[in-house]
A and B are shown apart, each in its own frame.
Chain A
Amino acid sequence: MGLAPGPVMTASSPNMPPDRTRLGWFAAGFLHAARLPMFVMALTFLGIGSLAREAGVSLGVALTGTLLIWAGPAQVIFLGAVLGGVPLMAIALSVSLSSVRLLPMCVSLLPLLRGPKTSLLTTLYTTHQIAVTGWAESIRRLPNMEPQARLPWFMGLVHGLYLSATLATVAGYLLSANLPRELAAGLLFVTPIYFIAALVRNVREPADWLALAFGLVLTPALKPLVGAGFDLLLVGLVGGTLAWAIQRGLKRRGMR
């Protein structure tokens, strides 16, 4: 990513025979994850593992959270609320609000991943894998791939992420020694710096720049106006719609 164009971008790239097997595509996706995203996941989930230890849940429960919830912010909210003794129904509501953002991500990825013959079970399993990192890594790559390559490549990618998140949850739980404050700050900074760089890399058209800028600017503007949880959804809807409408306006005038 960045230094060299990914080897898995198109079937026409020289080192990528179009007749690659499903296993080959899976391996290509896995190797893509190993280039950076797995390290980002590992750093994020080290933090989640140590938060779980702090919250007093067992390692098994912490791992169940990583494998089943599979959304970093939702897990942080869940564990943080357990730590604070928040009632379970209130935890469920906050977790659900934080995961609303998965809806547009799944809706934008599914048409790329799902073929006419994909079973409901496969679809359910596929949507479960979709979270922010997997979305950011694949939303711009999948359209350039042949349809039959997309699902195995995506599966390789997300299972690489799963592997690293699981190992890091265990490591964070077991190590959880008091990290120096400077390194703890560094761990918490991994998510924002990685996501912003990945979003900038994903930019292809004016709407992407606009959506990115509106998202950054609208968050502090809208936060005082709406309650926690809903603010993010509103930022997405307002910022995304504005960006999309402006781009459509530009296209119509033939100015793009």
Chain B
Amino acid sequence: MTFDQWSGGLWPYLAVIMFGFLPSEFWRTLSIFLAREIDEGSPLLEWVRAVSTALLAGVVANILLTPSGALASVPLAARLGAMGFGLAVYFALRRSVIAAVVAGEAAIIAAAYYFH
């Protein structure tokens, strides 16, 4: 069964709830029971934070290495270069996240113009 077969009236909304919201929200709700036993500053919390950090870094690596859509038209070396440039600006300008985003964006848009 596909989304198109749930068309008309409130059916598409029900499809979003059942096949988008609930499968995602399940993990958030589960966390409430898992977090109950953990208090602030415990080694377990440090471990969970390290796992989250590695996971998020993995998300970034995924987007950089196997991008979708227009970003895929920019070569890998240019994508990594724009990321490196953004981070260099971050440290050069007193650890400014805003500056990193602006510099990285400028670099990737310039690269997209160059490698059309």
B-binding residues in A (CB < 8 A): 1-3, 35-36, 40, 57-58, 60-61, 64-65, 68-71, 73-75, 78, 81-82, 85-89, 91-93, 95-96, 98-108, 110-112, 114, 120, 123-124, 127-128, 130, 132, 135-136, 139, 143, 181-202, 207-208, 210-220, 231-233, 235-241, 243-244, 247-248
Contact = CB atoms under 8 A, between A and B. Distances in A.
Contact of B3 (A68, A88, A93, A181): A88
A68 B95 contact: no
Nearest to A101: B55
Interface residues of B, number: 81
Contacts of A143: 40
Given A69-B24, A106-B27, A106-B28, A82 B53 contact: no
A69 B100 CA distance: 29
A46 B116 CA distance: 23
B108 A135 contact: no
Nearest to B102: A193
A108 to B, nearest CB: 5
Contact of A192 (B3, B22, B60): B60
Contacts of A81: 3
Given A143-B40, A188-B67, A215 B55 contact: yes
A127 B57 contact: no
A161 B73 CA distance: 30
Interface in B58-79: 58-65, 67-71, 73-74, 79
A202 B26 CA distance: 27
A132 B56 contact: yes
Contacts of B87: 196-197, 200
A111 B45 contact: yes
28 contacts: A2-B99, A69-B21, A75-B20, A86-B2, A87-B1, A88-B3, A88-B6, A93-B23, A99-B27, A99-B28, A106-B27, A107-B31, A107-B38, A110-B31, A123-B32, A127-B28, A127-B32, A135-B52, A139-B52, A189-B108, A195-B59, A201-B97, A207-B50, A233-B55, A236-B52, A240-B55, A241-B50, A243-B53
